[in-house]
Amino acid sequence: MKTVGICGKIGSGKSAVGVILEQQGALVLDLDMEMHALYAESRELRNRIEARFGSGCIQNGMVNRVALASLVFREPAALQDLESLVYPLLRRRVEEKLEIAKDHAHLLRMAAVEGALLFKWPDFAESLSEIWVVEAPDAVRLERLLKRGLSKEDAERRMQVQAKDPLPRNAVYRFVENSGTISDLQKRVLELAEKLKP
């Protein structure tokens, strides 16, 4: 079974690519959604987050993602601490789901892992069949983030944090330009998916 990593900076359109692939019968693991599921399912993780970041990051026994994001995107050390708590658990979860998907490869066209975090896991990224890097100009990305309800200051801060993440070296890349319409994006994604067929 072919496996694809979908990465790109915040606001580039990674999730839109994932939706297009899902519509074509692919299993798509959205790393943000998988992380949110971990927050909900793992009491141990919630306890560690509360111990490190304070009770303001836990509300009614659940992770307050807004408060946590506000904190970690302001303090690089806090972001590193959160990553060290979450990433090992998240990676294990994703790898287990991909193994299960391989057992059902006859039912799936491909599997994709979508999220900016692929930049942080070079060895995992390099194990995928291809990495699709979704790109859009900064002005387009900023506009998309503002439409999501982020303040301009918060959006720019998040964009700046991600600006430092390099691409893993030993991987096969395809670049997906996404500054046009959703139809343009769909056409490009379907072309790449067709080329990837075994």
- Provide the annotated binding site: 11-16
Give every CB contact of residue 70 below 8 A, 6+ residues apart in sequence: 154
CA angle 9, 93, 38 (to 5 degrees): 80
Question: Could you give the CA distance from residue 193 to residue 21 in angstroms, rounded to a whole number?
Answer: 8
Question: Could you give the CA distance from residue 147 to residue 150 in angstroms, rounded to a whole number?
Answer: 7
Q: Which residues pair with residue 114 across a beta bridge?
A: 6, 30
Question: Could you give the CA distance from residue 30 to residue 102 in angstroms, rounded to a whole number?
Answer: 17
**79 neighbors 117 (Cβ within 8 angstroms):** no
- Provide the annotated binding site for ATP: 11-16
Q: DSSP secondary-structure letter at 111?
A: E
